[in-house]
Amino acid sequence: MKVGVVGLGTMGAGIAQLCVEAGIDTVGREVTADLGAKGRDRIVHFLTRKVEKGQIESFDIDRLTVTTELAGLAECDVVVEAIVEELGPKRELFAELERICRPDTVLATNTSALSVTEIAAATSSPERVVGMHFFNPAPLMPLVEIVRAELTSDAAFDTAYALGETLGKHPIRCHDTPGFVVNRVLIPLLNDCVRVLDEARVGAEDLDAGMRHGAGWPMGPCELLDLVGIDVHVHASDALYDKLREPRMAAPPRLVAMANAGLLGRKSGRGFYTY
């Protein structure tokens, strides 16, 4: 099997890392050679750490080819898209992939909040398009949601599900509805948590302790939002609210203000906490 990954940012590099670790020939595509090299370095760094910690015996980085050309994906059996979370660029990419890849290549999108059906509609073979929603960080989070769009074929769906298992994940099956399974539950829940911060006049540390010790969460909501990225969460909230118009889906003003102020969490050094 040969897997292509389009976009070697945080998510794409994590997915490509999983493929290399599983011994799969992998082609990673980035828009520039510099970004491609950064993605490759990131993968080598994390796999080397796993060897040092005794979590894996070895890895073969020669399994990974990095290219700037979409044509480099022509011989892949599955291509996973992990580019910017915007419908326009994803639809353009899938139309291109359809021209370049073999007719039997399964085209998967790692979108977390967009409609897989709308992405698939940019192609003339929507039956081969499926959602494979990995969670961040992809190498550590055990879940992958396998999402059936309106016209996804059983063959494409089963291929994506089997790939999820090969990568050592726990795949779950779902249909293409806004937020799929986890985000449909988690995004409004995190928004509720942030509203409680103001309404109950509770501090971030106390709220996090409350949800860890009272609800059994492994990580408090404020810690989780800082890890995910405040801007990423607001973007996903907006996408869900646009589709469903449920008030709980809308990002609370406090989160919007934080995103606008550049308080994005861990990646900016400051969110609910300082890093």
- Check if 268 is active-site: no
Q: Within a 10 A sphere around the Cβ of 26, how many other Cβ atoms?
A: 26
Catalytic one among 183, 191, 233, 237? 183
Taken in order 96, 144, 187, 221, is the CA torsion positive or negative?
negative
**What tokens does 114 get?**
């967009």
Catalytic one among 21, 30, 98, 145? 145
Q: CA-CA distance, 66 to 38, in Å (whole number)?
A: 10
Q: CA-CA distance, 147 to 55, in Å (whole number)?
A: 30
Q: CA-CA distance, 62 to 205, in Å (whole number)?
A: 45
Q: CA-CA distance, 72 to 4, in Å (whole number)?
A: 9
β-partners of residue 270 are 265, 274
Catalytic one among 81, 98, 112, 233? 112
- Check if 199 is active-site: no
Catalytic one among 133, 191, 223, 233? 133
- Check if 133 is active-site: yes
- Check if 45 is active-site: no
Annotated active-site positions, please? 112, 133, 145, 183
